[in-house]
Structure 1
């Protein structure tokens, strides 16, 4: 059985966050809105549960990863995120 092309071309979006971070709350709203509008699934990753990520990104939270590549941090630009996600599906 083969996977339909639409499933193989979907980007993997992850937002690294930590508790009590006001920038993280803002970032969640942006990612939720853009990904929701475009029908792209995303996941929120608490860096407290991942010591390796906490060490690597301690000063950059929140961090946006698209297909495992860091694309933004601190403030997530909705226009940039939409451009990245629509370019991915083109």
Structure 2
């Protein structure tokens, strides 16, 4: 897994800045694979680009979140860990309009 993996979504509307979505992951993590699928599906539906961040390349992140991986960050704030709640992510991306 590369350091940062961009997941751009074509056709993103230009209505204000999109939320910054990052998913902290590590290789060999079955929960991470599930989280990637959830984040990709929800972000894709809303045209939001997101990044997978490999914590193995970021020792401070790995230390801070050692027992919580995967971790969902939206605009720099931790929003979920272990299992990503698609309904919560949907609300975060739509400002509660979902």
TM-score by length of 1: 0.89
How far apart, in 2, do the equivalents of 1:63 and 1:16 lie?
Answer: 5
Q: Is the 8 A contact 1:11 1:67 kept in 2?
A: yes
Flag structure 1 segments of 5+ consecutive residues without an equivalent: none
Deviation at 1:88, TM superposition (A): 7.3
Deviation at 1:9, TM superposition (A): 2.1
Q: Is the 8 A contact 1:15 1:62 kept in 2?
A: yes
Cα root mean square deviation, aligned: 1.5
Q: Secondary structure at the match of 1:72?
A: strand
Flag structure 2 segments of 5+ consecutive residues without an equivalent: 1-13
Name the structure, 1 or 2, with higher relative contact order (CA <8 Å, separation 6+): 1
List, as ranges, runs of 4+ consecutive aligned residues in structure 1 with deviation greater than 4 Å.
none
Establish whether residue 77 from structure 1 lines up as the match of residue 85 from structure 2: yes
TM-score by length of 2: 0.81
How far apart, in 2, do the equivalents of 1:62 and 1:88 lie?
Answer: 23
Give the paired residue count. 84
User: Highest Rg: 1 or 2?
Assistant: 1
Of residues 8-17 and 19-28 in structure 1, the stretch that sits farther from structure 2 once superposed is 8-17
